[in-house]
Amino acid sequence: QAEDGSRLWLRYTKVADREAALRKIHCSLRDPVANTAVQELQHYWRKGDVALVLDKKWPKYQPDGYRIRSVAGKTIIRAGSSTGLLYGAYHLLRLQQIGNEVTQLDIVETPSYHLRMLNHWDNLDGTVERGYAGYSLWKWDELPAIKSPRYVEYARANASIGINAVVLNNVNASPLILRQDYIEKVKVLADSFRPYGIRVFLSINFSAPAILGNLPDSDPLNPAVARWWKDKADAIYKVIPDFGGFLVKANSEGQPGPQDYGRTHADGANMLAAALKPHKGLVLWRAFVYNPSAEDRAKQAYQEFVPLDGKFEDNVILQIKNGPIDFQPREPFNPLFGAMPNTSQMVEFQITQEYLGFSNHLVYLAPLFKETLDAETYTRKEASTVAGLTQKGPNPRLSAIAGVANIGEDRNWCGHHFAQANWYAFGRLAWNSGLSSDSVAREWLASTFSPDMTLIAPLSKVMLESREAAVNYMMPLGLHHIFAFEHHYGPEPWGDIPGGRPDWMPWYYHNADSLGIGFDRTASGSNAVAQYHSPLKEQFAALSSCPEKYLLWFHHVPWNYSMKNGRSLWDNLCYAYQEGVDQVRYVQRVWDGLEHKVDAERFKDVQAKLKIQAKDAVWWRDACLLYFQTYSKRPIPPTLEQPVHR
Ligand code: GCU
């Protein structure tokens, strides 16, 4: 039990030596990754012989796929690479652990994305931007001399769910990460991860040539700057031959970029792409850009990037946040998806709960991830969901997906035991975006707690509803960004800083007044609806056909507007906030009823977190309803709990 907090979903029990001697694990290949696969099975597989076989005919473009078959009492894993064998081994162990049948197998798996990556927003001083699980796992001060055992545990957890790439440092990047002494530290991490099939990427600061290299500028069209990046890339590949490439946040929220020199995002990205290309490295260029201006923030990335379609080198991928604002509890998908048919695009999700209660709230994010991945964009005839577009882009050999990690040095890794499920779900959906949120939740629960159905059934239900609950008690019906300034935890719809950036003020987003509430993004307002492809733009633009979950995202709606259920908008808001509170209280009851099925430590930890969440839900409800009531001038329906001024 003592170790439980640090074992994540990898709660396999070791096979006794005597038992191990009775079965054979054989592998036709010897390399560090294949050795990991063999070692994991040696230690934990208890159901007969296994042969791991390198299949030279396996399709080249899907190196991580595998086939598992039971043949004459033996299990055979075939794959085209050692990483495929490793994923096959973890698949077997997962089946065994969750109590599935493992003697009649015939399974073929190929991943949805080539690159399944975590983005760490970890700073070199050990803090983590928007991290709620303690300090960074990377001990920069001790590296390269000391190798924390957690580096390998971390890599193993990632490999077990198919994650094969990690960006180590914050997108708000310190230029120092590219200094030679840091590259030596990065090398140690890359060496620790390599046997688990994981490649390392770095976030870079676009001004590095000027800051580190003492050049007069960092203009991407200055040949000396391009040379500096080329030399830097060569220096990195010299010590990390499988280095992945650079993630870049440029000309966004004060970060430097090519526009500082009158150049475009494409100029900047292509200059880096040229430096990385000889080594097969990639540039992941972020599309998260917006500036204080008269233009709706939700429209700006599209305006800036769509004209650049087709101008990026083929080793550049545009990394786009799931929604057009910023990881809100609910956003419609980002209209950039599908609007640049000649540019490789990838989704960036946020696993860390910056806008979803930090590591205090139980919010299972698979439904949020799926909502974006499954969103139909109507931008082409086939494969035009966000998943389809990002999996089958202009470069069929290159597809990627990223999640901003929620991992820190907390003993339970993620701050909340249930936040581990979001790391897990991100990995599993990156591997197979067709999996259901429910099946992933069940798998995670069975691995992490127990395969006991009397535990899995109620907890999977709770998990599945938890994101909707958070939307209800925070920002129902399309409301967004009404958080307290800067920390993004509690409510502050009234927030205002005289002279502050309007696009960082909650009123910019909710627009409550005596007539109604919501952001008019139709033709009478910012017309952001026009960035969506037909028939979505028409659907979102008309009040009658706009899905109610996005109502206040696209419309400024009168308080007395009659919703589909016949109640007024105001009453619906009141009911939604109350429902969110009730949902959290329901989770508390379910959890309390499971006391004897969960170890005492985790039971108490989660119970304590749920208390915070329930209190916060009431806080959100009361703060938002009492504030909006100053505009609506309407009563809270008498059947509901009445909010209290605090
Ligand atoms: C959010 C977040 C920042 C982060 C930024 C980004 O705005 O609050 O901390 O740097 O996203 O994704 O670049």
Task: State pLDDT tens for residues 332-371.
Answer: 999 999 999 999 999 999 999 999 999 999 999 999 999 9
Mutate to test the pocket of ligand 1, among 130, 174, 248, 300 (most ligand atoms within 8 A of CB): 130
pTM value surpassing 0.90 = yes
CATH C-level class of 477-519+556-632: alpha beta
Give the mean pLDDT of 394-422.
96
Residue 1 confidence (pLDDT): 38
Closest CA relative to residue 109, chosen from 80, 81, 88, 86: 88
Give the mean pLDDT of 223-252.
98
Looking at residue 429, its amino acid is L
Rounded Cα distance between 160 and 630, Å, is 52
Rounded Cα distance between 434 and 422, Å, is 16
Of the candidates 122, 219, 326, 371, the residue annotated as catalytic is 326
Residue 551 confidence (pLDDT): 98
Residue 432 confidence (pLDDT): 98
Give the mean pLDDT of 395-424.
96
Of the candidates 181, 253, 538, 595, the residue annotated as catalytic is 253
Of the candidates 331, 354, 503, 622, the residue annotated as catalytic is 354
**Does 129 sit in the ligand 1 pocket, CB within 6 Å?**
yes
CB of 419 closer than 8 Å to CB of 364: no
CB of 121 closer than 8 Å to CB of 173: no
Looking at the predicted structure, is the pLDDT value of residue 391 above 70? yes
Radius of gyration of the chain measured on its C-alpha atoms: 25
Strand partners, 345: 318
Nearest CA to ligand 1 atom 12: 288
CB of 391 closer than 8 Å to CB of 399: yes
Strand partners, 643: none
Closest CA relative to residue 327, chosen from 200, 396, 422: 422
How many CB atoms are located within 10 Å of the residue 5 CB? Answer: 17
Strand partners, 283: 246, 316
Task: State pLDDT tens for residues 465-484.
Answer: 999 999 999 999 999 999 99
Q: Would you kindly state where each structural domain of the chain is located, as residue ranges?
A: 4-108, 115-448, 477-519+556-632
CA distances from 385 to 376, 381, 538 (A): 4, 10, 18
Q: Is 155 left (phi over 0), alpha (psi -120 to 50) or beta?
A: alpha
**Does 171 sit in the ligand 1 pocket, CB within 6 Å?**
yes
In this structure, what DSSP letter does residue 491 have?
B
> What is the CA(121)–ligand 1 centre distance, in A?
9
Give the CA diameter of the chain. Answer: 77
Q: Residue 314 has which token pair?
A: 């083929």
Residue 342 confidence (pLDDT): 98
ipTM topping 0.85: yes
Residue 485 confidence (pLDDT): 83
Q: Residue 226 has which token pair?
A: 């391009």
Q: How many residues does this entry show for the chain?
A: 646
538 tagged catalytic: no
- Which helix or strand (DSSP H or E) is residue 248 part of? strand 245-248
H-helix segments, 335-452: 366-373, 386-391, 420-431, 437-448
Rounded Cα distance between 300 and 290, Å, is 6
**For the chain, how are helix, strand and coil distributed in percent, rounded to 5?**
40, 10, 45
**Confidence grade of residue 446 (pLDDT, cut at 50, 70, 90):** very high
Looking at the predicted structure, is the pLDDT value of residue 5 above 70? no
- The CATH code of the domain at 115-448 is 3.20.20.80
CB of 37 closer than 8 Å to CB of 82: yes
Cβ burial, residue 101 (10 Å; 0-12/13-18/19+): exposed
326 tagged catalytic: yes
**Does 609 sit in the ligand 1 pocket, CB within 6 Å?**
no
232: three-class secondary structure by DSSP? helix
**Confidence grade of residue 6 (pLDDT, cut at 50, 70, 90):** low
Give the mean pLDDT of 250-265.
97
pLDDT higher at 239 or 503: 239
**Does 44 sit in the ligand 1 pocket, CB within 6 Å?**
no
Looking at the predicted structure, is the pLDDT value of residue 4 above 60? no
Give all strands (DSSP E) within 448-580, no chain letters.
516-517, 557-558
Task: State pLDDT tens for residues 39-73.
Answer: 999 999 999 999 999 999 999 888 899 999 999 99
**Confidence grade of residue 292 (pLDDT, cut at 50, 70, 90):** confident
146: three-class secondary structure by DSSP? coil
CA distances from 131 to 315, 325, 406, 525 (A): 30, 20, 6, 36
Residue 2 confidence (pLDDT): 40
Residue 312 confidence (pLDDT): 98
Looking at the predicted structure, is the pLDDT value of residue 504 above 70? yes
Looking at the predicted structure, is the pLDDT value of residue 11 above 80? yes
**Average pLDDT over the chain, rounded to whole?**
96
**Does 127 sit in the ligand 1 pocket, CB within 6 Å?**
no
Architecture of the domain whose range is 4-108: 2-Layer Sandwich (3.30)
296 tagged catalytic: no
**Does 504 sit in the ligand 1 pocket, CB within 6 Å?**
no
Q: Three-state SS across 441-462?
A: HHHHHHHHCCCCHHHHHHHHHH
145: three-class secondary structure by DSSP? coil
Closest CA relative to residue 119, chosen from 469, 478, 423, 563: 423
Rounded Cα distance between 245 and 266, Å, is 16
Residue 487 confidence (pLDDT): 85
CB of 562 closer than 8 Å to CB of 568: yes
**Does 130 sit in the ligand 1 pocket, CB within 6 Å?**
yes
Task: State pLDDT tens for residues 161-214.
Answer: 999 999 999 999 999 999 999 999 999 999 999 999 999 999 999 999 999 999
> What is the CA(255)–ligand 1 centre distance, in A?
11
182: three-class secondary structure by DSSP? helix
Looking at the predicted structure, is the pLDDT value of residue 331 above 80? yes
**Confidence grade of residue 486 (pLDDT, cut at 50, 70, 90):** confident
Q: How far is CA 205 from the centre of its chain?
A: 22
CA distances from 82 to 42, 164, 264 (A): 16, 13, 40
